[in-house]
Amino acid sequence: MQPVDYTTLTAACSELRSQWLPARLEQVYQCDRFTLQLGLRTLTERGWLTLSWHPQAARICLGTPPPRTPDTFTFSEQLRHQLKGLALVAIAPLQPWERVMDLQFGRRPQDVPQWHLYVEIMGKYSNVILVNANQQIITAAHQVSTQQSRIRPIQTGQPYVPPPALRDPIPTLEESQAHWQERLTVIPIALDKMLRTTYRGVSATLAKTMAVTAGLSPSQPTDSLHPQDWARLFQLWQAWLQALQTETFTPGWCDSGYTVLGWNLTQQTPNVQMLLDTYYTQQRQHQDFQQLAQQLQQKLKAALSKLQVKAQGFIDQLAAATEAHRYRQQADLLMAYLSEWQPGTTTLTLPDFDTGAPQTLTLDPDKTAIQNAQALYKRHQKLKRACDRITPLLQDVQAEIAYLEQVQASLQQIDTYQNPTDLQALIEIRAELIQQQIIPAPHHTPDPRPSANFHRYQTPNGWEILIGRNNHQNDQLTFRIASDYDLWFHTQEIPGSHVLLRLDAGTNPDPEDLQFTANLAAYYSQARQSHQVPVVYTHPRHVYKPKGAKPGMVIYKQEQILWGSPQTAQTQ
């Protein structure tokens, strides 16, 4: 993920100063443990200023409005208490060439600022710190104790200390090419590394982009450059400094990510705010998707493994309990042939009632024949009771396994991130597993709002097909959206999505439409890699949810069967 460097931060704050000062602070909302949004209002417009101290996505820019979910974070509550109703009167760098911005708040633009909100954009050390007029820390997004850092602790009540000052030379437009080139050739190392270690404000992204734009390799040693190479590179260096001095930027997308300098653009954007919000929102969502998908897969795998071990234990106990009838038969034989028993007998061979085959009974020599028979009857009753108790327990475990396999099938279908709906589907799966007490609820994780981001297709004759992406959507499709005229599809006894073929009243789908839908039902199931999969279909009125059933689990009747081809669905 491309980090916000000094150039990008300067460009973003330049736009904010020109359009959003002064602005009244109306609301403070914390989206997650790394992102804060300030609701601002000027005389002409309203907007949300995003402040992020995420280790890979720290930034300051205008963003989209926050979700309408409760804010349970203490940090935002403290900021709301101190800053709400005040005016944002200035956005200024704390020190030249530092990635620390001072957001100043006061009652009126001309008054002395009462509060300073320092936004430190410094990678994994990023932070947002509220300081009063006496430079005393009131609260911070990330508290740093003396055990964590003896150089710069950050704790409530202590005086605010700026980050350690940089000691690298400051780049200037007045510096000559000869002097600049001399500094960069002191050590013959890679060009991009020499650029970013010699001067302030040069990030790894800027150094690489500058080298590539000049037609050079970023890893090329500085002693291998020709005079014309140095001339092109110095020209770009001057253009960069000129853009910073005049605050003239050209934001847009490039092959390596984004740029605010207009170099190697593939697509220009209207402003820096939109560029940053789009890039980091997408990158964070992609990152969150991968982390959440991996977490859910691990949790499901562990839960299924435990349940399968538990089910096997019950199966073994039931197998042992099936021997109960043998003990009763032995007891009956012993009671029928009491005359054959002699005191001190340890084994007794008697003919079976049904087949006449000899059966050998093992007896306790210290007990009488009747006492041995009573012990056999007692063992029979014990095993029979065990069987009666274990059977419903095994059924419950098997139902839990079937449910988790259904969730696992939904999870496997969302294997790659393509758009925000994929992340939303995963969030709904996590909320479902939390509700079912399969995974613990993480702190500060609000319940997701219900969504209807179904997979949507059209049959060859134009009928709409809706496919659930998780159990929440499956239930929504089957019991809320489906009408009596639709057809409901599902793989037979195989975990998979609920599929709905939407039809008008009085219409019958053609066989090719049914086959098309069956192929999709097979594809969105656990049998995706199979050649042919049995798929049932019926009217939604014949689909029921048993009392107490888990999300997505249903029973059906009056079904018909088609053979779906999941491999064909990939090319449909």
Average pLDDT in the 177-197 region?
92
> Does residue 347 or residue 180 have the better pLDDT?
180
Alpha helices by DSSP H, 199-346:
204-213, 227-246, 272-321, 324-336
pLDDT of residue 480: 93
Q: Where are the domains of the chain?
A: 6-140, 177-270, 293-448, 455-569
d(CA 398, CA 401): 5
Average pLDDT in the 551-569 region?
91
Average pLDDT in the 387-400 region?
86
pLDDT of residue 159: 94
* Same fold flag, 177-270 and 293-448: no
**CATH topology for the 293-448 domain:** Helix Hairpins (1.10.287)
Average pLDDT in the 92-105 region?
94
Question: Taking 70 as the threshold, does the pLDDT of residue 571 lie above it?
Answer: no
pLDDT category of residue 165 using cuts at 50, 70 and 90: confident
* Percent with pLDDT over 70 in the chain: 98
Question: Pairing relation of β-strands 23-32 and 87-93?
Answer: antiparallel
pLDDT of residue 17: 95
Local structure of 155: helix, strand or coil: coil
Contact 241, 171 (CB under 8 A): yes
pLDDT of residue 327: 77
d(CA 106, CA 90): 9
Average pLDDT in the 335-358 region?
82
Per-residue model confidence as pLDDT tens digits over 363-381: 888 888 888 888 888 888 8
pLDDT category of residue 448 using cuts at 50, 70 and 90: low
pLDDT of residue 18: 93
The region of weakest confidence among 62-66, 282-286, 334-338, 484-488 is 334-338
> Which candidate, 470, 446, 467, places its Cα nearest to that of 457?
467
Average pLDDT in the 90-96 region?
93
d(CA 334, CA 370): 8
Per-residue model confidence as pLDDT tens digits over 416-426: 888 888 888 89
**CATH topology for the 177-270 domain:** Helicase, Ruva Protein; domain 3 (1.10.8)
Question: Taking 90 as the threshold, does the pLDDT of residue 440 lie above it?
Answer: no
Local structure of 216: helix, strand or coil: coil
d(CA 126, CA 121): 5
Average pLDDT in the 97-119 region?
93
Provide CB contacts within 8 A for 481, sequence distance 6+.
Answer: 452, 466, 500
Per-residue model confidence as pLDDT tens digits over 466-504: 999 999 999 999 999 999 999 999 999 899 999 999 999
Contact 126, 120 (CB under 8 A): yes
Question: Taking 90 as the threshold, does the pLDDT of residue 516 lie above it?
Answer: yes
Average pLDDT in the 395-406 region?
90
pLDDT of residue 283: 92
The region of weakest confidence among 10-24, 27-41, 391-405, 508-522 is 391-405
Chain-centroid distance of CA 264 in Å reads 33
Contact 51, 35 (CB under 8 A): yes
Average per-residue pLDDT for the chain: 90
Question: Taking 70 as the threshold, does the pLDDT of residue 217 lie above it?
Answer: yes
* Percent with pLDDT over 90 in the chain: 64
d(CA 59, CA 53): 7
Average pLDDT in the 117-128 region?
95
Question: Taking 80 as the threshold, does the pLDDT of residue 325 lie above it?
Answer: no
Average pLDDT in the 145-150 region?
86
Average pLDDT in the 48-72 region?
92
Cα three-residue angle 390-396-398, rounded to 5 degrees: 100
pLDDT of residue 443: 64
Per-residue model confidence as pLDDT tens digits over 9-31: 999 999 999 999 999 999 999 98
> For domain 6-140, is the CATH number 2.30.310.10?
yes
Question: Taking 90 as the threshold, does the pLDDT of residue 88 lie above it?
Answer: yes
pLDDT of residue 435: 86
Question: Taking 90 as the threshold, does the pLDDT of residue 45 lie above it?
Answer: yes
pLDDT of residue 351: 84
The model carries a pTM of: 0.78
> Does residue 217 or residue 151 have the better pLDDT?
217
pLDDT category of residue 524 using cuts at 50, 70 and 90: very high
